[in-house]
Structure 1
Amino acid sequence: MDILFDAPNIDQNAWGAINGCEAASLLEGLHYQNKLTEVNYGEFLKMMPIDQSGNPYRGFGGSPYRNQSGKFEAIFVKPLSDWAAQYTTFRDISDLGIEAIYDSIRKGEPVVAYVTVHFEEPEIQRYPFGDVAINNHAVLVDGLTDSQVHVSDPIDGSYFLDKEKFAHIQQSRKMALSLLK
């Protein structure tokens, strides 16, 4: 059974945001749900919770527009879900395995999935808050076939990707947020 939501894609680089893929992926999902449709990506970035210490476990660590020494420019699942709660209902499916992502898609629920840029192997680096993939990235999963997933990628656009490649990279990260109907 082929499923494709065809969520709108946000090109974060077109907005000058070299970081902020999590916000773009979340907004893609919200726009798919017909929520916050009057809010564009630039406005949404201004609404994003920022952690001044640069800890992505507490908020976005730094600036979406530039890299800052000692900061990790990302926002991880807990603060992202706290932010998402203002606009939609969700379920943190981070530790439930790859089938939880596929089940969400089958239910008509897009998923913000943490992966790596271009689905390359994670490059791990140590920060005061822990070891993290410095090639961190997030996409919106918005489709599924027997052998592929469809993603709306804020860097590379919308495309189908082999399920095995997707699962390998996503499960190395183990962070995902399902946006409920």
Structure 2
Amino acid sequence: MSSKVLLGAENIDQVAWGAINGCEAASLLEGLHYQGRALDLNYGQFLLQMPISADNNPYHGFGGSPFTNRPGKFEAIFTRPLLWWGNRYGHLQELSGANPQWLYDSVTKGNPVLTFVTVHFEQPDWDSYPFGQVPANNHAVLLDGIDSDQVHVSDPIDGQYWLSKAKFEFIYQTRRMAIAINK
């Protein structure tokens, strides 16, 4: 019996929609659609509903704009406001702080996981903001598959692909931020 699991979530190309900073919303919608939720919303409609932070703090909502880079702004949204927003459409579970096996267990149970990583899974490039240290190359992907030594992601920039668990875990563990999108 194979230990390989591939949920087959869709891939939303954030750049094709002009949302150069819209990875969290794309990954969230991929997971919601996989679970049969928010099917009446396309990515553009979903982005228009994303909570925006008045103080540009990604812990309060999306900081800046998903469509442009603004100097001094950190264009992202972190787990707390994503949970608040996403739970309007489905059943989300905070997994931040979890060891990678918890993420894999979620996928094995049929629940993809929005995971904060870095663009192209490169080494984090840390920046300081009033709300804390964050990687300038922040990125979010949807973890939707596992195998003995690989994981599968639906990446809103680079498409769908397998990569080594070691590389995934190294980047995930720099922040340990994740949300399961449950049935």
TM, length-normalised to structure 2 = 0.97
Amino acid at match of 2:168: F
Select which of 129, 132, 136 maps to 1:127.
129
Would the aligned equivalents of 2:24 and 2:140 in 1 still touch at CA under 8 Å?
A: yes
Which residue, 146, 154, 175 being the options, matches 1:144? 146
Residue 90 of structure 2 aligns with which residue? Answer: 88
Counterpart in the other structure of 2:161: 159
Displacement of 1:142: 0.4
Do the aligned residues in 2 keep the contact of 1:151 with 1:159 (CA within 8 Å)?
yes
- Does structure 1 conserve the Cα–Cα contact (< 8 Å) formed by 2:11 and 2:156? yes
- Equivalent position SS for 2:90: coil
For residue 180 of structure 1, what is the amino acid of its counterpart?
Answer: N
Unaligned runs of 5+ in 1: none
Moved more, 34-43 or 8-17: 34-43
What's the counterpart of residue 60 of structure 1? 62
RMSD, aligned CA: 0.7
Residue number in structure 2 paired with 1:180:
182
Instruction: Please give the alpha-carbon distance, in whole angstroms, between the structure 2 residues aligned to 1:177 and 1:18.
Output: 21
Question: Does the CA contact (< 8 Å) of 1:54 and 1:70 recur in 2?
Answer: no
Q: 1:72 offset after TM fit, Å?
A: 0.8
TM-superposed deviation, 1:90: 1.6
Match of 2:72 among 70, 73, 79: 70
Q: Which residue is equivalent to 1:26?
A: 28
User: Shift of the alpha carbon at 1:127?
Assistant: 0.3
Q: How many residues align?
A: 181
Cα distance per residue 1:113-163 (max 9 Å; x no partner): 000000000010100111111100000000110010000000000000100
TM-fit CA distance, 1:38: 1.7
Point out the structure with the larger helix share: 1
CA deviation map 1:87-125 (0-9, x unaligned):
111211111211110110111110000000000000101
Aligned counterpart in structure 1 of residue 15 of structure 2, from 10, 13, 16: 13
Q: C-alpha separation between the residues in 2 aligned to 1:90 and 1:46?
A: 20
- Find the counterpart in structure 1 of residue 114 from structure 2: 112
Query: In structure 1, the residue corresponding to 2:148 is in which secondary structure?
Result: coil
Runs of 5+ unmatched residues, structure 2: none
Q: CA separation in 1, counterparts of 2:163 and 2:40?
A: 30
1:161 is aligned with what amino acid? L
Equivalent residues of 1:53, 1:71 under 8 A apart: no
User: Which AA in structure 1 matches 2:101?
Assistant: E
Distance 2:168 2:28 in 1: 19
